[in-house]
Amino acid sequence: MHLRRPRGITSWIAVAAAVILLATLAVVTTSNLRSPPAVSATDVLVTLPAGPGRADEVKIDARLYLPEHTPAPAVLLAHGFGGSKDSLSDQARDLAESGFVVLTYSARGFGRSTGQISLDDPDREVADARGLVDWLAARTDVQQDGPGDPRVGVAGGSYGGALALMLAGTDPRIDAVAASITWNDLGQALFPNYGTTTAPDAVTPAAAGYGGPGVLKRGWAGIFFGAGVSGASENGDATGPTEPGPNAGPCGRFAPEICRAYAPAAETGRPTPELLALLRAHSPAAVADHITAPTLLVQGQQDTLFGLDQADATARQIAANGTPVQVRWFAGGHDAGGESDRSRAAVAAFLSDRLHDGTGAATFDFSLPGTPTDQGQPSNRRMTAADYPGLVAADAPTPRIPVGLIGDPQTVVRPPGASPAALSSIPGLGSTVAGLGGAAGGALDLAADPPGQSARFSSAPLERPLTLTGTSSVRLVVSALAAPGDGVLFAKLYDVSAQGRRTLTGGAVSAIRLPDSPAGQPIPLTVTLPGVAFQVSESHHLELVVTATDQAYANPLTPAQFSVALADPTLSVPSVPAETTSRAVPVAPLVGIGAIAAALAALVIVTTVRSRRRVVAQVDPDLVDVPLVISDLRKTYTNGFRAVDGVSFTVRRGQVLGLLGPNGAGKTTTLRMLMGLITPTAGEIRVFGHTVTPGAPVLSRLGSFVEGSGLLPHLSGIDNLRLYWEATGRPAAEARMDEALEIADLGDAVHRKVRSYSQGMRQRLALAQAMLGLPDLMVLDEPTNGLDPPQIRTMREVLVNYARTGRTVLVSSHLLAEVEQTCTDVVVMNHGRVIATGTVEELTSSEGATELHVDDPEHAARVLATVDGLGPVQVQGDENPAVRVDLGDLDPSVLVRTLVEAGIGVRGLSRSTRLEDVFLRLVHVSDHRERETL
């Protein structure tokens, strides 16, 4: 029945569409009304002469950004290693638009500045920065706090972050300092676990060692020092400094003393005392006790070069002076592209608070990533705590949670040459690579521990989620058979899912150099693992792994053997109470969104009224007892592709109908139109006499499992079913939960969380979900995907039993043998059209080979050869002699009568045709006709 559209409805739709368009334009216009403040940029060359506190003369290539209104506070912006003033242009312009005078510059040895790289030498790079503050103090467009004292903040990331801290520690004129992803002690960062403490029971990533050398981060050290030679940045950006001249030698643009100090360590993997002293003198640790300016430390949670421990050490040193310190951890770092937009925004907000307003709250923020799933990477949550608690429990009252570990003493071996070595991370990539985890778009886990080289200690599955915020610690007992000085181990902590997926928390490891001791003597150790912010989900467990090698470090090459045991079966885990950070919502977009929502609501009301009128009018009383009638159904997309072309068939009560066809036949499109998910181009679908439209009430009599079930893994099976039913808005009494569960046959497993289900159990739960309310018509698309043969058999029994209750099942499947055993009727589609329909028996008996078991096969073959319309006749002479013949359109009784009249005894007749044979022949014929048509 065709209904004419009322003119009033058309007018309403036109008005609603206009309102939506105007509201959208209002949002776009509002967001673009305000143009950014005018900013000017000028390149300058500043000559800084040699003199007291500066070892030599240098020419610094700089760029000055002036805001719209001056005088204004100034910001000195320092770049990362391998960068230049140009790499800071976007950040500088943003700060200038916020009302700052901004000076960016290329540090000596980089860009077009003269001099050689001296790694933030106090008498060179740091002295240069003090000279630039002098230059700012002489400018009238810079706000002054006093004669020669500008209102100035300093900020930088990585190499520039360390310089910012060292400048603040040597120049009292600095009013605010913001340092990102940088080091506290460069010696500790590159050679973790060195120091002067002799007590072996104190091993931390950036604290005391045993008076011996640390363990070189060979991968990062090679990138860091190699960048000064090749001109690449520490993140692999080769567009930073200019190339060294032809006579620069093997040191490139490095100062000779830096090159001479590092070269032996690069060869041996062990730092000399001279190198360690030089690196510490070129580090914020040397001057942190003199920093009086309010400080923001922004550190990356994905950073195996400068981990959270480096910012923690700086924060504790500055806070000891009574200086206000804010600490922010973010989901980034050297393993994730360096600084992020969020970290730069935090720096801008901090500088604005301190330089414009003179206020600021001491808070601790961190990013809490969810546990990665097998389907992809999760989103992050921003968390805030009132104060920074520190990484180590002894320094701050960080709450600690004991987690029990299980594992017997184990032996690990370091092979000759330390190859193959365990893989924990790749410098610049960390322990995972996003987007390479397959079609699901997940992450590729790089971490791998060779067998025989690692000891593992595991916790029980967690009963509730656990948040790690800081450094976990564990007590071990280790004995070694290794050459003196070659006792090196690596400790790391994995999050292991119920399905066995292992995620290296924080992507980092703790390097351990054991003290020299007699072979086999037990050595007690308290190992502090890398600082992390990480949430472990319920039902996951933690796994402590101790390895004899790690590819990111300089491993001793001599073979060695270690015995590793738990001194205390407890992992001490820090967990800081924090709250999710709220976000402000811009008013203008909110108004626009509200207008759009109102317009959409009007459109929905109009559409609902219209659809109800059509539903009431379009009911065929002759079909109210017929589950499904599809008539001349068509679906053509805008590109002209016709997915469904004139499909018609009927499904009656008690049938299990199989919808068959090769990929692209139009099966799923037909099912989606049946469910009201997409609208047909032409034709009609009636369910129990009602025309199907999106949201039609009659669809409540239909249960479906098409294109995934949407089950929530953290809920139990029964909770998934209850939540699904509540979403329908129908009374709980109508769910028929017990009957659906009895048919699906899940037993007690329905009370377990879905994440622990096998694929077969998930499919049966999805089927139970489709059966809630015991719908009169159930539509299933590939319900046996991923099931093994026993699970397929169980699924078959479920469907057959459901149909026996007088209801109807429509199932699409590629498993033809299963369809033959499960379905009563079949519809075969190809190229969007129906090419065959009927019962399974009709299709398999209408063609193909028939065997006639006779007394004399040779005589029978000669007799049958005289029958018109009969196909080729073959004699089968095995233990059960028979004649095999293609009946074509002949009735089998004609052959039997012919043979009996010829005096040949017939013992039986059987069919050997399978549904698969019929299907393949039908599709082949259809494909041939399609090619002829084209």
DSSP result, 422-458: -B--BTTTBTEEET-S-TT--EEE--B--TTSEEEEE
Three-class SS of residue 57?
coil
The per-residue pLDDT of the chain, averaged, comes to: 79
Instruction: Say if strands 579-580 and 702-705 run parallel, antiparallel, or are unpaired.
Output: unpaired
Lowest mean pLDDT among 32-36, 92-96, 298-302, 564-568: 32-36
Spatial distance between the Cα atoms of 716 and 752, rounded to a whole number of angstroms? 5
The mean-pLDDT minimum among 34-38, 74-78, 103-107, 262-266 falls in 34-38
pLDDT (tens digit per residue) in 94-132: 999 999 999 999 999 999 999 999 999 999 999 999 999
pLDDT for residue 80 is more than 50: yes
- Contacts for 273 with CB less than 8 Å, ≥ 6 apart: none
> What is the per-residue pLDDT for 371?
44
- Most confident option among 152-156, 484-488, 704-708, 856-860: 152-156
Residue, of 533 and 32, whose pLDDT is higher = 533
Q: Is the pLDDT of residue 205 over 70?
A: no
Q: What is the CATH number of domain 848-912?
A: 3.30.70.1340
Q: Please state which architecture CATH assigns to domain 37-192+210-362.
A: 3-Layer(aba) Sandwich (3.40)
- Decide if 655 contacts 824 (C-beta within 8 A): yes
pLDDT over 80 (residue 485): no
Rg (CA), the chain: 38
**d(C-alpha 570, C-alpha 580), whole Å:** 29
Q: What is the DSSP string of 163-202?
A: HHHHHHHH-TTEEEEEEES--S-HHHHHS-S-SS---SS-
What mean pLDDT comes out for the span 490-507? 89
Over residues 801-825, mean pLDDT: 84
Predicted confidence band of residue 34 (pLDDT cuts 50, 70, 90) = low
pLDDT digits (tens, 9 = 90+) for 574-593: 877 666 554 434 444 444 55
In 3D space, the residue among 754, 744, 751 whose CA is nearest the CA of residue 712 turns out to be: 754
Alpha helices in 846-886 (DSSP H): 857-864
User: Mean pLDDT over residues 271-300, rounded?
Assistant: 92
Instruction: Return the pLDDT at 615.
Output: 42
Asked if 772 and 810 count as a contact pair (C-beta separation under 8 A), the reply is no
CA distance 127 to 139: 19
Contact 551, 422 (CB under 8 A): yes
Which residues neighbour 583 within 8 Å (Cβ) at sequence distance 6 or greater? none
Q: What is the 3-state secondary structure (H, E, C) of 732-797?
A: HHHHCHHHHHHHHCCHHHHHCEHHHCCHHHHHHHHHHHHHCCCCCEEEEECCCCCCCHHHHHHHHH
Confidence of residue 601 (pLDDT cuts 50, 70, 90): low
Q: Would you say residue 200 has pLDDT above 50?
A: no
pLDDT band at 707 (very low <50, low <70, confident <90, very high): low
Return the H-helix or E-strand segment holding 205.
none
Please give the single-letter amino acid code of residue 604: V
The domain segmentation of the chain, as residue ranges, is 37-192+210-362, 391-578, 621-842, 848-912
The fold of 391-578 is Jelly Rolls (2.60.120)
CATH T-level topology, domain 621-842: Rossmann fold (3.40.50)
Per-residue pLDDT for 373 more than 80? no
Residue 442 is predicted with a pLDDT of 43
The yes-or-no answer to whether 37-192+210-362 and 621-842 have a common fold is yes
Most confident segment among 91-100, 414-423, 663-672, 696-705: 91-100
pLDDT of residue 628: 92
Q: Is 591 helix (H, G, I), strand (E, B) or coil?
A: helix
Percent of the chain with pLDDT over 70: 77
- Tell me the per-residue pLDDT of 850-881, one tens digit each, with 9 for 90 and over: 777 887 888 888 888 888 777 777 787 666 67
CB 876, CB 883: distance < 8 Å: yes
Looking at residue 202, its pLDDT comes to 44
Rounded to whole angstroms, the Cα distance separating 376 from 386 reads: 32
Strand order in the sheet with 682-687: 642-651, 628-636, 682-687, 690-691
- At 398 the pLDDT is 61
Q: Which of 200-209, 428-437, 909-918 has the highest mean pLDDT?
A: 909-918
The distance of Cα 233 from the centroid of its chain, to the nearest Å, equals 27
Quick one: average pLDDT of 314-328?
A: 89
Measured between alpha carbons, how far apart are the two ends of the chain, in Å? 35
The pLDDT assigned to 118 comes to: 92
Instruction: With a cut of 90, say whether residue 76 has pLDDT above it.
Output: yes
CB 166 within 8 A of CB 122: yes
Using pLDDT thresholds of 50, 70 and 90, give the confidence band for residue 387.
low
Question: What pLDDT is attached to residue 241?
Answer: 42
Q: What pLDDT is stored for residue 127 in this prediction?
A: 95
Residue 37: is the preceding peptide bond cis (ω within 30°)? no
Residues 6 or more apart whose CB falls under 8 angstroms from that of 76 comprise 103, 105, 129, 132, 133, 136, 152, 153, 154, 155, 164, 167
pLDDT at 366: 67
Listed range (465-479, 895-909, 919-933) with the worst mean pLDDT: 919-933
| DSSP 8-state symbol, 531 | P
